[in-house]
Amino acid sequence: MYQQADTAVIGAGIVGLATAYHLALKGRKVVVFERNPAPLGASFRNFGLVWTLGQKPGNIYERALYGRATWQQIARESGLPVEENGSMLLAYHADEAGVLEEFAATTGIRCEVLTPEAARQKSSAFRPGDCRPHCGARWR
Ligand SMILES: Cc1cc2nc3c(=O)[nH]c(=O)nc-3n(C[C@H](O)[C@H](O)[C@H](O)COP(=O)(O)OP(=O)(O)OC[C@H]3O[C@@H](n4cnc5c(N)ncnc54)[C@H](O)[C@@H]3O)c2cc1C
């Protein structure tokens, strides 16, 4: 640990570590203070999903993509396992399918609207009878 640092970050959750990481990339000497022997906060307990699709198109979505790319880079460098599966949203009713179709057509986010059969081929966990008339999916 540095005896002298430019910046002290309090908390070794994802926000603290991301701040420390980016400051260090810029050449700053950073020290992180964590009150527990190991992080026990939300970052430790969460589900581990990096789900960019839920972000509003524009700056926030671009930031989410940057965050995902950062995770991918850190995973490559550290050997941390990351499963890149994409995500699939199911539409159970026609109005829901309409929302997915509009989303796919207008947001500019790379995604596709699938038939139930095409969705089943992407995931064996999916039962076509659950979904009508469409389901939407976004893949990396
Ligand atoms: C059950 C659950 C599931 C989730 N699933 C997801 C998911 O799949 N994907 C996703 O993106 N988000 C998910 N989230 C949300 C995400 O985990 C949080 O938004 C994120 O982890 C918050 O990070 P943080 O660094 O702000 O807080 P924390 O991870 O809580 O980190 C704060 C750290 O600061 C330390 N600290 C606090 N006070 C001090 C102090 N005075 N001195 C020193 N250290 C201190 C704490 O000990 C802790 O380690 C989930 C959250 C929960 C609870």
Please list the ranges in the chain whose pLDDT falls under 50.
133, 140
Task: Supply the pLDDT for residue 92.
Answer: 79
Q: Give the ligand 1 atom nearest the CA of 17.
A: 25
Residue 78 β-bridge partners: none
Both tokens of residue 43? Answer: 């970052």
Residue 80 Cα to ligand 1 midpoint, Å, equals 19
Q: Give the ligand 1 atom nearest the CA of 14.
A: 25
Which residue matches tokens 């893949």? 139
Task: Supply the pLDDT for residue 133.
Answer: 47
Residue 44 Cα to ligand 1 midpoint, Å, equals 7
Instruction: Order the strands of the 135-138 sheet from edge to edge.
Output: 87-90, 135-138, 112-114
Nearest CA, atom 27, ligand 1: 13
Q: Give the ligand 1 atom nearest the CA of 33.
A: 43
Decide if 116 contacts 92 (C-beta within 8 A).
no
